[in-house]
């Protein structure tokens, strides 16, 4: 917390500066000592004022949180939701998350697909010293020439939605080592053991000097949506957004 400024405080409280000054003087009289040191150039907290500020900080935070919970309850929204974010969280049924952000399609009958959040183009991650690293763009046909990673314990159709088993010309895309974490995947890419198709936001959030990112010119974008276990649906889950596809709510 910086030096107090009565003008800003008055503006935030929607009162006059004089009203703020009067309230502070009233508290100083009640305490029996000055809370602020004032001169013609500045206003700053005294040591006693700093002590009181620090003592009240947790109380203020608790009050703010209580008021926010009350506002949420007044709107019929209560409780806490655990949101699982890609990559790496593919098990919506395990109960570790209430709602999962994942790519489509999701076709299991016990899962509900909620609103679409965003679509993201795909990029090809390769080591900076890889033979493909100097290419300006990538093609899905390139994937048939190099090993790709595999995701464990994933429905076949869902994994195929991320990386198909064959290129449009019918060449097989070979999936190699199984990975469960993005760090593990990027480590394999960085040493040239694999190349990997990923959503474009990966280049922003996982950018590193030993990996080059090539945009695809012929690979359709991935579509991401909220997904949850139907039998575990609650009012809080439904309050996340309209339960239909096709309404973008967020861009990565």
Q: Which band of pLDDT confidence, cut at 50, 70 and 90, is reported for residue 247?
A: very low
Look up residue 109 and give its two tokens. 């009958």
pLDDT at 5: 63
Q: Which band of pLDDT confidence, cut at 50, 70 and 90, is reported for residue 77?
A: low
Of 94-103, 109-118, 175-184, which range is least confident?
94-103
Cβ neighbors of 82 (< 8 A, separation 6 or more) are 96, 97, 98, 99
pLDDT at 159: 85
- CA–CA distance, 60 with 28 (Å, rounded to integer): 19
- Domains for the chain: give ranges and CATH numbers: 6-74 (1.10.10.10), 83-238 (3.40.190.290)
Interval 191-241: pLDDT, tens: 999 999 999 999 998 999 999 999 999 999 999 988 898 888 887 787 775
pLDDT at 244: 41
Q: Quick check: 27 and 49 in contact, CB under 8 A? A: no
pLDDT above 60 (res 118): yes
Burial class (CB in 10 A: 0-12, 13-18, 19+), 195: buried
pLDDT at 143: 94
Q: Quick check: 100 and 227 in contact, CB under 8 A? A: yes
Of 8-17, 69-78, 121-130, 210-219, which range is least confident?
69-78
Mean pLDDT of all residues belonging to the chain:
83
- CA–CA distance, 169 with 140 (Å, rounded to integer): 10
pLDDT above 90 (res 98): no
pLDDT at 248: 43
- CA–CA distance, 218 with 168 (Å, rounded to integer): 10
Cβ neighbors of 159 (< 8 A, separation 6 or more) are 150, 151
Mean pLDDT over 145-164 rounds to 86
pLDDT above 70 (res 78): no
pLDDT at 245: 39
pLDDT at 241: 59
Burial class (CB in 10 A: 0-12, 13-18, 19+), 144: middle
pLDDT above 80 (res 87): no
pLDDT above 70 (res 138): yes
Query: What 3 state SS string does the chain have?
Result: CCCCCHHHHHHHHCCCHHHHHHHHHHHHHHHCCCCEEECCCCEEECHHHHHHHHHHHHHHHHHHHHHHHHHHHHCCCCCCCCEECCCCCCCHHHCCCCEEEEECCCCCCCEEEEEEEEEECEEEEEECCCCCCCCCCECHHHHHHCCEEECCCCCHHHHHHHCCCECCCCCECCEEEECCCHHHHHHHHHCCCCCEEEECHHHHHCCCCCEEEEEECCCCCEEEEEEEEHHHCCHHHHCCCCCCCCCCCCCC
pLDDT > 70 in the chain, percent: 87
Q: Which band of pLDDT confidence, cut at 50, 70 and 90, is reported for residue 9?
A: confident
pLDDT at 202: 92
Look up residue 226 and give its two tokens. 């909220």
Backbone angles phi, psi at 55, to 5 degrees: -65, -35
pLDDT > 90 in the chain, percent: 33
pLDDT at 76: 67
Of 21-30, 160-169, 206-215, 242-251, which range is least confident?
242-251
- CA–CA distance, 179 with 134 (Å, rounded to integer): 26
Q: Quick check: 4 and 36 in contact, CB under 8 A? A: yes
Q: Quick check: 182 and 88 in contact, CB under 8 A? A: yes
Cβ neighbors of 204 (< 8 A, separation 6 or more) are 252
């Amino acid at each position: 917390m910086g030096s107090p400024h009565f003008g800003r405080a008055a503006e935030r409280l929607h009162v006059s500066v004089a009203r703020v000054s009067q309230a502070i003087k009233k508290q100083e009289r009640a305490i029996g000592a000055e809370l602020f040191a004032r001169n013609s150039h500045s206003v700053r907290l005294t040591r006693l004022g700093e002590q009181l500020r620090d003592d009240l900080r947790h109380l203020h935070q608790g009050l703010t949180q209580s008021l926010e919970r009350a506002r949420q309850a007044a709107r019929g929204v209560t409780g806490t939701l655990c949101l699982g974010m890609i990559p790496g969280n593919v098990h919506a049924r395990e109960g570790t998350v209430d709602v999962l952000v994942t790519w489509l399609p999701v076709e299991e009958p016990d899962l509900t697909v909620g609103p679409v959040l965003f679509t993201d183009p795909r990029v090809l991650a390769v080591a900076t010293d890889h033979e493909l690293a100097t290419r300006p763009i990538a093609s899905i046909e390139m994937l048939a020439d190099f090993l790709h990673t595999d995701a464990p314990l994933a429905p076949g159709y869902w994994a195929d939605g991320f990386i198909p088993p064959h290129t449009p010309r019918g060449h097989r895309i070979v999936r190699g080592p199984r990975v469960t974490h993005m760090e593990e995947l990027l480590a394999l890419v960085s040493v040239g053991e694999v190349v990997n198709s990923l959503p474009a936001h990966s280049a922003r959030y996982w950018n590193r000097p030993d990996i080059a990112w090539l945009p695809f010119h012929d690979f359709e974008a991935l579509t991401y949506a909220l997904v949850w276990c139907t039998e575990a649906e609650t009012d809080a889950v439904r309050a996340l957004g309209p339960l239909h596809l096709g309404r973008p709510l967020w861009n990565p």
